[in-house]
Amino acid sequence: MLVVLLVACKKKDNNGPITGQPFKFISLSASDTSIAVNGLTTLTAVATGDGLTYTWSALYGTIIGSGAVVQYTVCHADNFKVMCVIKDVNNNTLKDSIYINVK
Amino acid sequence: MSNKRTACLLLAALLLLVSQNIFSQCCSSGSPAGASTFVGLLNKKDIRVITYYRNNYSDTYFSGAVKQTDFTYLKNTSFKFFGLTLGYGITKKITAEYEMGYFISKVQVYKFTPNTTTTVKGFGLGNGFVTLKYGAYVKPEKNIEVTIGAGAKFPFSTQPQFVNYVIIPRDLQPSTGVFGMTGLLFFNKGFPGISLRVFSLNKYELNGASKYDFGTGKYDANYSYKYGNMLMNSIFVSKKIVNNFFGVLQFRSENRQADHVNGVLEQNTGNEVLYVSPQLSYSIVGKWHLAVMGDYPLYKNYTGKQMTPKYSWALSLTRDFNCGKKK
């Protein structure tokens, strides 16, 4: 099941990896929720639904890449919030956020 | 109708069209230093078009006035910018100016591992400016001009830029997305006997606050990101070298105040930089002016740790259209 869900995490799901599944934001996780200044953490959004787009935003720092899996880095220490908004083919949106502590 | 008059009317129409866009669109913010020494008044009904291309490169961190060699968050940053300035002499003492520009690219290069680099890029329209200049003391017979000016700074969009649905960092945004105001003072003194001109430009930019929260990706009435105000002081010496060739040496200080988020000082913002900017210009029949210039920081003082400019160069082409009465 996990493999199927991860396959579904594409930036623009034109092929519809899990068509017919209800639109659901399953999880937002980080490979490391605590990183050093200049460090990198990988953020993964897992969701089901059709025609998904993943919009990422952060008050500080840089988000590298696009789609369901991105990387995040910041140049100074603090606790930083990163948000992911997922939209499906019917323009329904779901969002989640995660805090990354930078030391 | 002569070709010259047709060209003047077309340019006037363009200026009018651009001016209408100021009111039909909503927003803008900061832009790189211009690349022209043509900052004084125009004759009545004359039109001036300045285009320039600027390339900037940075690869050195500073904390205070000290270079930081152990901080390697970014390998380098750079931008390529195309600017356009249109000026129109409303009367012999009032000149209107419109400035805008486009970031062809704003790039940050990261080096997270020794053998690979990662590039993040922004691009798009920078801020626009409209300025009215008034000749407070203009004495052509004494080769003296004192001009004051005031204007508005505006964004073409208050929305930050997303690339592939990912917000790009604030430093790479082409526009601040906020409105602002500008004030300027220009002083010019010419010494025709020795083909020398000394002039100064003092400019202050007052920046507004953005209500767009990058953290939530939406507007929030209770949120405020206030960009620091900027004071720029320049002094120029221009000397004719040989026929149609002019050399210009500019010293420019830029003082940017720190940004504030919800009234709290934002770390790693605010700086003082002193530049020297040599320039060589070539004048063609007194109407076309081609110039090349460089910007080199002589002194840098940055709050916190910040990437600082290393060098910048620009090419500019200026054309004057004398649409008014012949003197």
How many CB atoms are located within 10 Å of the residue A20 CB?
Answer: 8
> Worst-scoring range by mean pLDDT, B53-57, B211-215, B271-275?
B211-215
Q: Is the pLDDT of residue B264 over 50?
A: yes
Contacts of A57 in chain B (CB under 8 A): 162, 166-167, 214-217
The pLDDT score that the predictor gives to residue B250 is: 95
Task: Summarize the confidence of residues B225-234 as an average pLDDT.
Answer: 95
- Averaged pLDDT, A25-42: 93
Q: State the smallest CA–CA distance between residue A75 and chain B in angstroms.
A: 6
Q: What DSSP state is assigned to residue B229?
A: P
Residue A91 domain boundaries: 2-102
Residue B249: CATH number of its domain: 2.40.160.40
What does the pLDDT read at residue B37? 66
Q: What pLDDT is stored for residue B4 in this prediction?
A: 53
Q: What is the pLDDT of residues A35-45, one digit of tens each?
A: 988 889 999 99
pLDDT for B10 equals: 46
Q: 3-state class of B22 per DSSP?
A: helix
pLDDT at residue A59 in the model: 86
Residues composing chain A = 103
Nearest-angstrom CA–CA distance, B57 and B47: 33
Buried b (16+ CB within 10 A) or exposed e, B18-40: eeeebeeeebbbbbbbbbbbbbb
Per-residue pLDDT at B296: 95
Give the per-residue pLDDT at B326: 55
For chain B, the average pLDDT equals: 86
Is the model more confident about B113 or about B191?
B191
Per-residue pLDDT tens digits for B309-326: 999 999 999 998 987 665
- Indicate if ipTM > 0.95: no
Considering only alpha carbons, which residue of chain A is nearest residue B167?
A57
User: Model confidence over A71-91: pLDDT tens digits?
Assistant: 999 888 889 999 999 999 999
Look at residue A102 in the predicted model and tell me its pLDDT: 92
* Closest approach of A38 to chain B, Cα-based (Å): 5
> Looking at the 3D structure of chain B, how many domains does it have?
1
| DSSP per-residue letters across B137-198 | EEEGGGTEEEEEEEEEEE-S-SSPPEETTEEPPGGG-S-----EEEEEEEEEEEEGGGTEEE
Q: Is residue B326 part of a domain?
A: no
Query: Which tops the pLDDT comparison, A13 or B180?
Result: B180
Q: Which residues of chain A neighbour B108 with C-beta distances below 8 Å?
A: 62
Which structural domain range is residue B93 located in? 3-321
- Which member of A38, A54, A61 has the closest CB to residue B169? A61
Contact B162 A83 (CB under 8 A): no
Provide, as residue numbers in chain B, all residues whose Cβ is less than 8 Å from the Cβ of A38.
71-73, 112
The verdict on residue B115 lying in a domain is yes
Q: Name the interface residues of A facing B (CB cutoff 8 Å).
A: 11, 37-38, 40, 53-67, 70, 73, 75-76, 81, 83, 85
Q: Does B191 reside within a domain? A: yes
Residue A18 has pLDDT above 80, yes or no: no
Average pLDDT over residues B48-56: 95
More confident residue, B11 or A58: A58
What local confidence, expressed as pLDDT, does residue B34 receive? 56
Distance CA A23, CA A1 (A): 16
By C-alpha distance, which of B141, B132, B149 is closest to B187? B149
- Report the percentage of chain B scoring pLDDT > 90: 69
Alpha helices in chain B (DSSP H): 3-24
Q: What is the CATH number of the domain that holds A58?
A: 2.60.40.1080
Residues of chain B contacting A81 with CB distance shorter than 8 Å: 215
Q: Which of B25-39, B221-235, B251-265 has the lowest mean pLDDT?
A: B25-39
> For residue B311, what pLDDT is reported?
93
Percent of chain B clearing pLDDT 70 (strictly above): 87
Q: What is the average pLDDT score of chain A?
A: 84
Q: Which of B20-29, B217-226, B233-242 shows the lowest mean pLDDT across its residues? A: B20-29
Interface contact B304-A81, CB threshold 8 A: no
Average confidence (pLDDT) over A16-34: 83
